[in-house]
Chain A
Amino acid sequence: MENNTIIKIENLVKQFPVGGGTFTALNGISLSFGKGEFSGIVGPSGSGKTTLLNIIGSLDSPTKGEVTVMGTGSGGMNAKTASQLRKNHIGFIFQTYNLMSVYTVYENVEFPLLLLKMPASERRKAVLDAIEWVGLTDKIKSRPPQLSGGESQRVAIARAMVKRPGLVLADEPTANLDAANSHHILQTMETLNKELKTTFLFATHDDKVIRYLKRIVTLADGKVVSDESVK
């Protein structure tokens, strides 16, 4: 793997059992993503975007082929190494935010650092910094039900970024947001990408997101149909 490569995918096949047979969601995908990229996997519903993102995020495993993320290959990966990879190197942003409703903004953002057993003083600084990046310092004690959709997604971004991961996987992050909030969110992520050199990989079919991407990989029926860089 080249030094700059964060994700390397070789001949990836993913099949799911359906009824008596199998459904092939990904069919012979080979891709690689470098450090600091702001890329997206686009395509219509059912094209395999989320499945690919889940496999890259080690939430799912390939049927065939090899996926290497931050130096960890899917071949010898077990539940423990997969969870270590996610805990240390990957941040997730979901369409539905997936915040803990009983936690405050601060506690939601703090959560990944608790899993990393970061010392309290260091943790507090990191959490406050992350909340400041997304401009929610005044909402620090609020709980998710008290936040708007845009604010919730910004908390999710802060939560994904607080541990300064090498890779952030965002699955349809703007699908539940209006245009203004979508742009705000994307600007925030773009800024973080530039400042922290974090690799962002989106799964989306939202034009608003696509406009921000520097590289667009298009999937259709589980295959890569185009891979373009945008100037």
Chain B
Amino acid sequence: MIAFKLAYRNLMGAGLRTFLIVFILSVSYVLIIFMNGLYQGWNHHARADMIDWEVGQGQFWQEQYDPYDPFTYADAHAPVPPEIKTAAEQGRVAPILLSQATIYPEGRIQSIKLKGIAVQQDVLSVPTDKLVAEDHIIPALAGTRMAKSARLEEGDYLLVRWRDVNGTFDAAEVKITGIFSSPVPAVDAGQIWIPLDQMQEMLQMPGEATLIVSGKGVELPGKIPGWEFRDHDFLFAELEAMIKTKSTGGSILYLILLALALLAVFDTQVLSIFRRQREIGTYISMGMTRRQVVGLFTVEGTMHAILALALAAVYGIPLLLWFAKTGLGMPEGTDSFGLASAERILPYYSAAVITGTILLIMITTTIVSYMPARKISKMNPTEAIRGKIQ
């Protein structure tokens, strides 16, 4: 406790120099917590949005299906397994049939992914209730990104061409009955949604699907022959990897800031030990052991981090809470990277991030404070008292 008391006095006595180091360290605390909170918030939002719009509670994939290889789409279809047929009819699971197709908006040619989805599904937020047939026209949904790229508006008619199960080209006109806005580009960009039964008919694949999205509370069979279950760990792996990459990139910024603050602490320690040799000798003459003086200087350096924590709490807590409430607007086009992103990300500050940040700064500050202070243990007190440089 004495070391803390003395260290506090010494730091307060150092005035502006202490304040500057403490301020930079406090910014490090706030920035690290904010950045990590932002990535966690982004992750949190993206996962929730992807569950709502794309992955549900997991998916069964027809064994041939590879989302990254459009050439597999032609063979990746099979009848909806009888084990989950009832759930599909009740809308508790959402079978989706996939095919490559071409559209001709305003006379241009555009390749798309055609997706058939059960109208009665209650699993995904895709507004399938708008897939209402009028006469013999096929209703279709497009997301805002797709609508923008193809200049589609609600009520537009669009020519779609596809190949059926036998490889025969066929074409029909669809009517855009709804345009929806989704934070998940994977259900929007480059694709058109139509009713599953009509798509099965178009492709001559009655009762078939490429993948089946599970809803909440559905008891799924462990294994279905010809289908593979993909759980959240698998389906979010890409998202996790992308956020990790972005988080690593972002961490460079705050690590540079932290390194600067630590360098300032280190320099201050080196300078202190150089300039305060007489003081060190005096401490020893008054009964402190060299180890205690090393401890005092280490605590003094570490106390920068403690004071910075207090300062960070003063302005950081209101600031971080304000961000947590209002969120941070994401720049337009963020979702064009393919990563699910809401318009505003609300940072999420977990106890682990806060504790981890505090420990990171405390431990690194203690280390950079201790390293130069070790020199004291080799000092000759009689020389130090006279202020002789050692």
> Residues of A at under 8 Å CB distance from B?
50, 54, 57, 59-60, 79-80, 83-84, 86-88, 92, 94, 96, 98, 100-103, 107, 111-112, 114-117
- Which residue of chain A lies nearest to B286 when distances are taken between CB atoms in the complex? A112
Measured between beta carbons, the chain B residues less than 8 angstroms from A86 are 284-287
Q: Does any Cβ of A come within 8 Å of B304's Cβ?
A: no
Q: Mark B1-39, 1 if CB is under 8 A from A, else 0.
A: 010011001101110000000000000000000000000
Name the contact of B282 in the complex, choosing from A54, A98, A116 (C-beta under 8 A). Answer: A98
Contact assessment for B13 and A92 in the assembled complex, using a CB-CB cutoff below 8 Å? no
- Given contact pairs A83-B292, A111-B286, a sample of 8 additional A-B residue pairs in the complex whose CB atoms are under 8 Å apart: A83-B284, A86-B286, A92-B285, A98-B279, A100-B282, A101-B13, A103-B9, A115-B2
Shortest distance between the CB of A55 and any CB in chain B (Å): 9
- Mark each residue of chain B from 282 to 305: 1 if its CB lies under 8 Å from any CB of chain A, else 0: 101111111110000000000000
28 A-B pairs with C-beta separation under 8 A: A59-B284, A59-B385, A60-B382, A79-B289, A79-B290, A80-B289, A83-B287, A83-B292, A84-B287, A86-B286, A86-B287, A87-B286, A88-B287, A92-B282, A94-B285, A96-B386, A96-B387, A98-B278, A100-B282, A101-B13, A102-B9, A102-B14, A103-B9, A107-B9, A111-B286, A112-B286, A116-B287, A117-B2
Q: Name which residue of chain A comes closest to B5, CB basis.
A: A114
Give the docked Cα–Cα distance between A207 and B291 (Å).
Answer: 39
B139 contacts partner chain A, Cβ-Cβ < 8 Å: no
Q: Which residue of A lies closest to B15 (CB)?
A: A102
Assembled-state Cα–Cα distance A83/B292 (Å): 10
Q: Identify A115's interface contact among B278, B281, B288, CB under 8 A.
A: B288
Residues of chain A contacted by B292 (CB below 8 angstroms): 83
In the complex, which residues of chain A have a beta carbon less than 8 angstroms from the beta carbon of B195?
none
- Contact flag A96-B285 (CB < 8 Å), given A107-B9, A115-B2: no
Instruction: Report B356-390 CB contacts with A as 1/0, cut-off 8 Å.
Output: 00000000000000000000000001100111000
* Closest CB in chain A relative to B199 CB, distance in Å: 80
Point out the residue from B2, B291, B381, B387 that lies within 8 Å of A114, measured CB to CB. B2
Please tell me which one of the listed residues A79, A83, A94, A100 contacts residue B385 in the complex, with CB atoms under 8 A apart: A94
Closest Cβ–Cβ distance, residue A65 to chain B (whole Å): 18
* Interface contact A115-B287, CB-CB below 8 Å: yes
**Contact among A59, A114, A116 with B6 in the assembled complex (CB-CB below 8 Å):** A114
A83 to B285, CA, bound (A): 8
Minimum CB–CB distance for A43 against chain B, Å? 18
Complex CA–CA separation, A87 to B285 (angstroms): 8
C-alpha gap A102/B275 in the complex (Å):
13
B residues 323-381 with Cβ under 8 Å of A?
Answer: 381
Q: Which residues of A contact B290 (CB under 8 A)?
A: 79
Residues of A near B291 (CB, < 8 A) are 79
Residue numbers in A under 8 Å from B279 (CB-CB): 98, 100
Do B285 and A102 touch across chains, with their CB atoms under 8 A apart?
Answer: no
Asked whether, in the complex, the Cβ of B10 is within 8 Å of the Cβ of A102, the reply is yes
Q: Quick one: closest A residue to B12, CB to CB?
A: A102
| In contact, A57 and B278 (Cβ under 8 angstroms) | no
What are the 10 tightest A-B residue pairs by CB atom distance, in nearest-first order?
A102-B13, A87-B287, A98-B282, A86-B287, A92-B285, A83-B289, A54-B382, A59-B381, A83-B287, A59-B382
Closest to A156 in B: B282
Whole-angstrom CA separation of A100 from B279 in the bound complex? 7
For window 149-179 of chain B, which residues contact chain A by CB distance below 8 Å? none
Residue of A nearest to B380 (CB): A60
Return A32 CB to nearest CB of chain B, in Å: 23
Contacts of B289 in A (CB 8 A): 79-80, 83
Chain A nearest Cβ from B16, distance in angstroms: 13
Task: Give chain B nearest CB distance to A103 CB in angstroms.
Answer: 6
Contacting residues, chain A, for B14 (C-beta < 8 A)? 102
* Min distance, Cβ A110 to any Cβ of chain B, angstroms: 10
Instruction: List B contacts of A112 (CB < 8 A).
Output: 286-287
| Beta-carbon nearest neighbor of B6 in chain A | A114
A80: which B residues are within 8 A, CB to CB?
289
Taken together as a complex, chains A and B put the C-alpha atoms of A53 and B292 apart, in Å, by 23
CA distance A98 to B9 in the complex (A): 17
Complex: A122 Cα to B137 Cα, angstroms: 96
**Distance between Cα atoms of A86 and B281 in the complex (Å):** 12
CB distance from B129 to the nearest CB of A (A): 73
Kindly list chain B residues whose C-beta atoms are within 8 Å of the C-beta of A83. Answer: 284, 287-289, 292
Inter-chain contacts of B284 with A (CB < 8 A)? 59, 83, 86
Closest to A116 in B: B287
Tell me, rounded to whole Å, the shortest Cβ–Cβ distance linking B382 to chain A. Answer: 5
Residues of the A chain whose Cβ atoms lie less than 8 Å from the Cβ of B13: 100-103
Q: Nearest chain-B residue to A117 (Cβ)?
A: B2
Give the distance in Å from the alpha carbon of A83 to the alpha carbon of B293 in the complex. 12
By a CB distance below 8 angstroms, the chain A residues around B6 are: 111, 114
Chain B residue at smallest Cβ distance from A160: B286
Most buried by A among B284, B385, B386: B385
Shortest Cβ distance from B25 into chain A, in angstroms? Answer: 20
Task: Give the distance to chain B from A14, nearest Cβ to Cβ, in Å.
Answer: 11
Say how far B22's CB is from chain A's closest CB, in angstroms: 16
Bound-state Cα–Cα, A115 to B387, Å: 22
Chain B residues with CB below 8 A from A88, complex form: 287
For B13, the closest partner residue in chain A by CB is: A102
With the chains together, A103 CA to B287 CA distance in Å?
18
Cβ–Cβ < 8 Å partners of A50 in chain B: 382
B18 to chain A, nearest CB (A): 10
Chain A hits for B387, CB < 8 A: 96
User: In the complex, A59→B283 CA distance in Å?
Assistant: 11
